Amino acid sequence: MTTNGSSDPDRTRENIEKTRAELGATVEALAARIDVKAQGRDRALKIKGRARQRLTNSAQAMRGKTGKAVQAARQRAGTASLDGIARAAQQRGAALRRGTSGKVAAVRGRVTDSPVAQRAPAAARALRGRLVGIRSAARRRPVLIVAATTVGVAVAMRQHSMRRRVAARRRR
C-alpha cells in the first residue's frame, strides 16, 4: 500500500465521525420539532409574557390617570380641604383598579382555557409513549433506526429544497 492508500481508512473514519455528528444534530432538531410539550410550554410563556406586559401597561396607565384625577380634583376643589382631594383620588384609583383587575382576569382565563393548553398534557403523554417505543426499537435494531433516520432526513431535506424552489419562483 502507498501512503495515499493508508490514509483512506483515516479519511473514512473522519467522514463517519463527521456524518455521525451531523446526524445527531439533525435528530435533535427533529426531536425538538415534534416536542409538543415544549412547544406548548413556550407558547404559554409567550402568552404569559404578553399578559404581564399588558398588566404593566394598564398599571402605568392607571397611575397616570390617578395623577390626572388628583389634579382635576384640586382644580375643582379650589379652596377645599386636602382630605376631600385625597378621598376623591382614592375613589378614582379604586375604580380604575377594579377595571384593570377585570381585564387581567379575562386575559388569564383566555390563557388557561385555550385549546392548546387543554390538549398539551394528552399530546405529551402520547408523544412520550411513542418515544418509549422508538427507544426500545433503537436498542433492539440500531442500524434500522439509523437507516430510518437517514431516510427521514433525506425526505425533510428534499421537502425543504422544494419549498425554497417554489418560494424562489414566486419571487420572480
The string of DSSP codes covering 92-125 is: HHHHHHHHHHHHHHHHHHHHHTSHHHHHHHHHHH
Domain-located, residue 150? no
Domain-located, residue 133? no
pLDDT tens digits, one per residue of 100-130:
666 666 666 666 666 766 777 777 788 778 7
Mean pLDDT (the chain) is 76
pLDDT band per the 50, 70, 90 thresholds, residue 2: very low
Domain-located, residue 128? no
Average pLDDT for 74-96: 65
Q: In terms of residue numbers, what domain contains 80?
A: 35-117
Domain-located, residue 9? no
pTM: 0.30
> 388569564: which residue's cell?
108
pLDDT band per the 50, 70, 90 thresholds, residue 154: confident
Higher pLDDT, 97 or 44: 44
Domain-located, residue 125? no
Q: Which of 43, 19, 42, 23 is nearest to 31 (CA)?
A: 23
| DSSP tag of 78 | T
CA 110, CA 50: separation in Å to the nearest integer? 12
Domain-located, residue 168? no
Buried b (16+ CB within 10 A) or exposed e, 53-72: eebeebeeebeeebeebbee
CA 160, CA 167: separation in Å to the nearest integer? 11
Give pLDDT, residue 78: 58
pLDDT tens digits, one per residue of 23-71:
888 888 888 778 778 888 888 888 888 888 888 887 777 777 777 776 7
Domain-located, residue 97? yes
Percent of the chain with pLDDT over 70: 74
How many domains in the chain?
Answer: 1
Distance of CA 50 to the CA centre of its chain: 12
pLDDT over threshold 80, residue 22: yes
CA 17, CA 25: separation in Å to the nearest integer? 12
Give pLDDT, residue 101: 64
Give pLDDT, residue 85: 60
